[in-house]
Amino acid sequence: MATEILMPALSPTMEEGTLAKWLVKEGDTVSSGDIMAEIETDKATMEFEAVDEGVIGKILVAEGTEGVKVNTAIAVLLEEGEDASAADNLGGGTPEAAPAAAASDEPAQAAAASEAPAAPQTDTTPDWPEGTTLRQQTVREALRDGMAEEMRRDDTVFLMGEEVAEYQGAYKISQGMLDEFGAKRIIDTPITEHGFAGIATGAAFGGLRPIVEFMTFNFAMQAIDHIINSAAKTLYMSGGQMGAPMVFRGPNGAAARVGAQHSQDYAAWYMQVPGLKVVMPYSASDYKGLMKTAIRDPNPVIFLENEILYGRTFDVPEMDDYTVPFGKARIWREGTDVTIVSFGIGMQYALEAADKLAEDGISAEVLDLRTLRPMDTGSIIKSVMKTNRCVTVEEGWPQGSVGNYISSVIMQEAFDYLDAPVINCTGKDVPMPYAANLEKHALVTTNEVIEAVKKVTYK
Amino acid sequence: MATRKAAKKPNVSAEELKAYYKDMLLIRRFEEKAGQLYGMGLIGGFCHLYIGQEAVVVGLEAAAEEGDKRITSYRDHGHMLACGMDPNGVMAELTGREGGYSKGKGGSMHMFSKEKHFYGGHGIVAAQVPLGAGLSFADKYLENGRVTFTYFGDGAANQGQVYEAFNMAALWKLPCVFVIENNQYAMGTSQQRSTSSAEIYERGKAFGIPGEAVDGMDVLAVKAAGETAVAHCRSGKGPYILEIKTYRYRGHSMSDPAKYRTREEVQKMRDERDPIEAVRTLLLTGKHATEDDLKAIDKEIKAVVNESAEFAKTSPEPALEELWTDIYATEVPQEA
């Protein structure tokens, strides 16, 4: 049976091309792999090979023709022994074309734009029941306890990273864990972030629940391809068949006087990536409860810690299995005049500012987001509907900051409730300097938060 | 290029030999069809064909056991067919349809099958190397006796993460067969112009990983080498490297005019070293099959491939709701 040879698409973007040269003529026998023509695409001149065997019955488009649309019949191929007249009936039909993307269809998720939204429903249950015994614990201890409890609960959980085992952790987070769990589950790696992030991600594909410690998140830049391309995207790319249930954790952001390459806050970077969950706790109880939730979560979780907070002491509930859900902000302080939203170490500026503002008679509500993805925007909106003003606080850079995102959400969902523009208090738009005075100034300060609150409250 | 001669007397049965012929032919005809559908605009984006390299995956699959894992790069159609994935599902993923292995959300470069222990389908050159080492890390941790075939190309062999993975795989004695599919060109750059060593497998020596070069146009040589490698890994001795010297007949991707090599070079490989022709000759000269037997196989394969193309054309595009699914898991998918 005679078949049409169609103008091929030879690049991802080609819609038409030039039939530069025929290398076969009518009557020639061709077999699979023979070059039949040269075709100029938008990118290059390509050789066009025969796919089937047969005899060239008729050439429909002469060489030198420009602007030949993809899928136009350019020649007719006859089966061996077939009469050339079989070609006559072909060569004019519209070939089957690829489906055009349904561009006009709205994606399933529509932007909401209602006039007077009701206050969002939020989960305001306390983190632990009233009357629970509390004890004082450092962030460091709480974090270790959270990991150790989950390792006792699930044999497939293991911890991997530089100096996590015999050295007991560069920041002593994994102290004692090698003794309890052994070298099979507390694994010292060479200094090879890209490699071990990839190995841990592969291990997660293979049925384990890795915790990867980066000595600091600055070094995770070496590994970010695996975090994003391998861990975050595989569930989607596989149509839900496999993913990477794992935790990437370590100190993030500025410590003290360690210079530009060791002092970056990655909250806004990771928060942008679908497929990742991003946690950035402030208090010891959250470090513990959120770490336990992170280990159990079936997705890759970025757990952003802070070296300065490691030694801070907070109340931690004495409970057998204390977990904190993702996507639930904590209200540290209720107030009526302004909402201060922060997370991680930013909370210390937010809380200090609120204390000082109270002395001036300004009542600030302070929200700790705890997780940035999912983000409890409902609690932000609800609070802003009450206070009509908002200041965000973080140590990261200003352009494309977490605060920028929060501002846009408030603008879209609670514009009519705002009595002043939202102000984002951030780190300065500079690499981190070493000098003590410069470093202090490069970070966000409590005074800047106070100033911002006074500005939005017109005081 | 050949460093290992085919076993003089193939240590395989006529039935096995016929099966290899069939498996290789399926890959070739499937890829030709994919090229055709690309030309018609039914397959979009990047499409990297495996034509010429068929003996590599078919030979190694012959050395694998049930439950062993495999992971590779974006030139992945051959690996999927060789490990028994359904041609319909693969072709429908190429056309971006609901019936594809990833429901149309992965494309040519990103397909997976939990059932067949195929872990992708990765688009970042060499990223699959530590991932493959990680799969074997999980197998060792779980003490399940499985081996992972981690495939990558001569181009990927120049990425730093390959050597990070070699180091840890050797240090931790991971049951991983590192398969370097050396098709001699990293996109348009020949090995000679990109790689300091002539024998890439020798780089394993620096890490204490044994390895060998294998004639990748000889499916029996590949199978024999695969058996050596798998036995090494399964016995707990750690990783093994196979540098399989092969050749890709087509361009790097569909839009590659392949001006970096001569037409004669390609034709010479096709005429003198074609892996499918070699098995065909073995079958005929050994009187294991007649011309008619082989014609029947050809016909059967053609029908399978045509059916996959038909399925890939008629399977509907994914529903728009699929845009928003599979971003987050609600429970951990169980390891197959």
What amino acid is encoded at A26 in this protein? Answer: E
Beta bridge partners of A248: A212, A302
A141-170 burial, b at 16+ Cβ within 10 Å, e below that, comes to bbbbbbbbbbbeeeebbbbbbbbbbeebbb
Q: Tell me, yes or no, if B74 comes closer than 8 A to chain A by beta carbon.
A: no
Over residues B87-122, the pLDDT tens digits come to: 999 999 999 999 999 999 999 999 999 999 999 999
Amino acid A46: pLDDT: 84
Question: What residues of A are in contact with residue B102 (Cβ under 8 Å)?
Answer: 237-239, 241
- The confidence score (pLDDT) of residue B6 equals 46
3-state secondary structure of A175: coil
- Minimal C-alpha gap between A7 and chain B (Å): 7
- A225: pLDDT strictly greater than 90: yes
Q: Using the predicted structure, report yes or no on whether residue A94 has a pLDDT greater than 70.
A: no
N residues, chain B: 336
Comparing CA positions, the residue from B330, B202, B192, B185 lying closest to residue B257 is B185
Which of B70, B332, B334, B335 to substitute to test the interface with A, most A CBs within 10 Å? Answer: B332
* A279 phi, psi to nearest 5 deg: -120, 135
The reported pLDDT for the residue numbered A95 is: 46
Q: Say if the Cβ atoms of B135 and A206 lie within 8 Å.
A: yes
Distance from CA of B222 to the nearest CA of A (A): 25
Q: State the burial class of residue A133 (Cβ atoms within 10 Å of its Cβ: 0-12, 13-18, 19+).
A: exposed
Instruction: Find, in chain A, the residue whose alpha carbon is nearest to that of B167.
Output: A190
* Mean pLDDT (whole number) for A367-391: 98
- Report the half-sphere exposure of B262 (CA within 13 A, side-chain side): 3
Determine contact: A202 vs chain B, CB below 8 A: yes
Token pair of B122, please? 């990765």
Q: Is the pLDDT of residue A104 over 60?
A: no
Nearest-Cα distance to chain B for A196, in Å, is: 7
Q: What is the pLDDT of residue B178?
A: 98
Give me the active site residues of A, please: 193, 262
Q: Are residues B220 and B7 in contact, defined by beta-carbon separation less than 8 angstroms?
A: yes
pLDDT above 80 for B326: yes
- Is the CB of A239 less than 8 angstroms away from the CB of B102? yes
**Would the pLDDT of B198 be above 80?**
yes
Peptide bond into A396 cis (omega under 30): no
pLDDT digits (tens, 9 = 90+) for B224-279: 999 999 999 999 999 999 999 999 999 999 888 888 999 899 999 999 999 999 99
Using the predicted structure, report yes or no on whether residue A356 has a pLDDT greater than 90: yes
Short-list A212, A454, A164, A177, CA closest to A338: A454
Tell me: the pLDDT tens digits for A201-223? 999 999 999 999 999 999 999 99
Is A134 an 8 Å CB contact of chain B?
no
Q: What is the pLDDT of residues B47-92, one digit of tens each?
A: 999 999 999 999 999 999 999 999 999 999 999 999 999 999 999 9
Distance from CA of A313 to the nearest CA of B (A): 34
The bridge status of strand B240-245 relative to strand B176-182 is parallel
Rounded to an integer, what distance in angstroms lies between the CA atom of residue B216 and that of residue B231?
19
The mean pLDDT value of chain B amounts to 94
Contact A194 B122 (CB under 8 A): no
Phi, psi for residue A378 in degrees, rounded to 5: -60, -45
Q: Which residue of A has its CA nearest to B41?
A: A98
Q: Which residue of A has its CA nearest to B95?
A: A98
Model confidence at A9, in pLDDT bands (50, 70, 90)?
confident
CB < 8 Å to A96, chain B: 40, 313
The answer, for A298 touching chain B at a CB cutoff of 8 Å, is yes
pLDDT band, very low/low/confident/very high, at A14 (cuts 50, 70, 90):
confident
User: Searching chain B, which residue's CA lies closest to the CA of residue A199?
Assistant: B134
Do the beta carbons of residue A425 and residue A444 sit within 8 Å? yes
What mean pLDDT is reported for chain A?
92
A327 touches chain B (CB under 8 A): no
DSSP-derived secondary structure letter, B43: S
**CA A20, CA A39: separation in Å to the nearest integer?**
5
Angle, helices B275-285 vs B54-61, to 10°: value is 60
Instruction: Cis check for the bond before A120: say yes or no (omega within 30 of 0).
Output: no
Of the ranges A74-88, A128-142, A186-200, which one carries the lowest mean pLDDT score?
A74-88
Name the residue with tokens 């996590």: A164
Percent of residues, chain B, with pLDDT higher than 70: 96
Residues contacting B138, CB < 8 A, separation 6+: A202, A203, A204, A205, A206, A207, A208
Please give the Cα distance from B94 to B42 (Å, whole number): 8
| Residues of B (287-316) whose Cβ lies below 8 Å from A | 313
Which residue in A275, A286, A226 sits closest to A373, CA to CA? A275
Q: Do A226 and B130 touch (CB under 8 A)?
A: yes
pLDDT digits (tens, 9 = 90+) for A44-92: 888 888 877 889 999 999 999 999 998 899 999 998 777 767 666 665 5
CB B127 within 8 A of CB B160: no
Q: Do the Cβ atoms of B255 and A195 come within 8 Å?
A: no
